[in-house]
Amino acid sequence: MSERRPYVRAQPRDWWARKPYLGYTLRELTGVGVVVYGGILLAGLISLARGPEAFEGFRSFLTSPLSLLIHLLLLAVMIWHVVTWFQTMPKTMPKLIANGRHVPQQKLTLAGVGIAAVCSAALIAAFLIAGALP
Amino acid sequence: MTPHPNPRRSMAPIFWLMFGAGGMLSALFGPALIVLTGIMLPFGLGVPGGFGDYSHVLRFAQNPLGKLIVLAVIALFFWHGAERIFLTLKDMRAGALPILRLATYGVAAVLTLVTLALLLEIGF
């Protein structure tokens, strides 16, 4: 009767769909959105390599309501990726010390999201400026 | 204790590096890229309609720097997603690890090679 009978906590198979793990699952699922967008770009590259007709087909897909819906959805997913990426970043790096004090993680998250916003805005601005040039 | 003369190296840091690079690239420029290629260029919003033309896009893809950008964005986005999907499926106990690796890292590796081949096919 001395056999070990350790307690094994039951874990339902759908643990990832329940709180408190749902937030983790939603964060990780942004990876699917990133992959889908990469796939759309790859489809564009394939049609570009095939020639003008194939590329026109790709362009006409991009102007369809379905494509617009997909891209708006992907944009929402990508923005969630930006937020969660910079929420995770301070937890994965060595503690930052400024003026003898730990920089709070919230500040690093805010700085990261701010830098991302500047980068994205700069890229769009570059296209707007290039488009406005004669 | 003397260190092992020939320690077994893990491949994990390589995948982790690709995951991080793709995650940072998509975090910094992903939203703008989606707005550009998904909304602004197709509908000619804010940019001339000719910006999304075959000849215009072809010239971008023929430029060495353009090729590097296309390869970095497509490949790193795939590797980023592959790492996330692999670890999540592993946590969900969705299947045997070799199969999960093949379905994530394997697919990312193949699609990276496809992207590279297409960029070379398009020429300079």
Closest CA to A71 of B74, B59, B43: B43
Higher confidence at residue B50 or residue A60?
A60
Convert the pLDDT of each residue in A118-130 to its tens digit.
999 999 999 999 9
Whether B22 and A131 lie within 8 Å, measured CB to CB: no
Q: Are A34 and B81 in contact (CB under 8 A)?
A: yes
The percentage of chain B sitting over the pLDDT mark of 90, rounded to a whole number, equals 82
A98 backbone dihedrals φ, ψ, rounded to 5°: -130, 130
Mean pLDDT of chain A: 94
A64 backbone dihedrals φ, ψ, rounded to 5°: -75, 155
How high is the pLDDT of residue A1? 59
How high is the pLDDT of residue A98? 87
How high is the pLDDT of residue A7? 93
Q: Which chain B residues are Cβ-neighbours of A45 within 8 angstroms?
A: 61, 70, 74, 115, 118-119
Could you say which residues of chain B have pLDDT below 50? none
B16 lies within 8 A of chain A by CB:
no
Question: A97: part of which helix (H) or strand (E)?
Answer: strand A97-98
Q: Which chain A residues are Cβ-neighbours of B38 within 8 angstroms?
A: 40, 62, 67-68, 70-71, 74-75
* Cβ-based burial of A118 (10 A; exposed 0-12, middle 13-18, buried ≥19): exposed
For A50, nearest residue in chain B (alpha carbons): B122
Q: Are B57 and A55 in contact (CB under 8 A)?
A: yes
pLDDT tops 80 at residue A2? no
Question: B42: part of which helix (H) or strand (E)?
Answer: helix B41-43
The percentage of chain A sitting over the pLDDT mark of 70, rounded to a whole number, equals 99
Convert the pLDDT of each residue in B88-116 to its tens digit.
999 998 999 999 999 999 999 999 999 99
Mean pLDDT within A80-97: 94
> Any idea where the domains of chain A sit in the sequence?
15-132
How high is the pLDDT of residue B100? 97
Nearest CB among B28, B43, B87 relative to A116 is that of: B28
Q: How far apart are CA A107 and CA A101, in angstroms?
A: 13
How high is the pLDDT of residue A45? 98
Q: How would residue A11 be classed by pLDDT, with cut points 50, 70 and 90? A: confident
Q: Which domains does chain B have, with CATH numbers?
A: 17-122 (1.20.1300.10)
How high is the pLDDT of residue B20? 96
How high is the pLDDT of residue B11? 84
Higher confidence at residue B68 or residue A11?
B68
Topology at the third CATH level for domain A15-132: 3 helical TM bundles of succinate and fumarate reductases (1.20.1300)
Tokens 């991080």 belong to B20
How many residue pairs bridge chain A and chain B with CB atoms within 8 Å of each other? 152
Chain B window 74-113: which residues touch A at a Cβ cutoff of 8 Å?
A: 74, 77-78, 80-85, 87-88, 91-93, 111
| Alpha carbon of B9: minimum distance to chain A alpha carbons (Å) | 22
| Alpha carbon of B64: minimum distance to chain A alpha carbons (Å) | 15
Residue B103's contacts (CB-CB under 8 Å, 6 or more residues apart) are B89
Local structure of residue A102 (DSSP, 8 states)? E
Q: Which chain B residues are Cβ-neighbours of A50 within 8 angstroms?
A: none
How high is the pLDDT of residue B1? 66
Tokens of B27: 């975090």
Q: How far apart are CA A33 and CA A31, in angstroms?
A: 5
The neighbour count for residue B24, using CB atoms within 10 Å, is 18
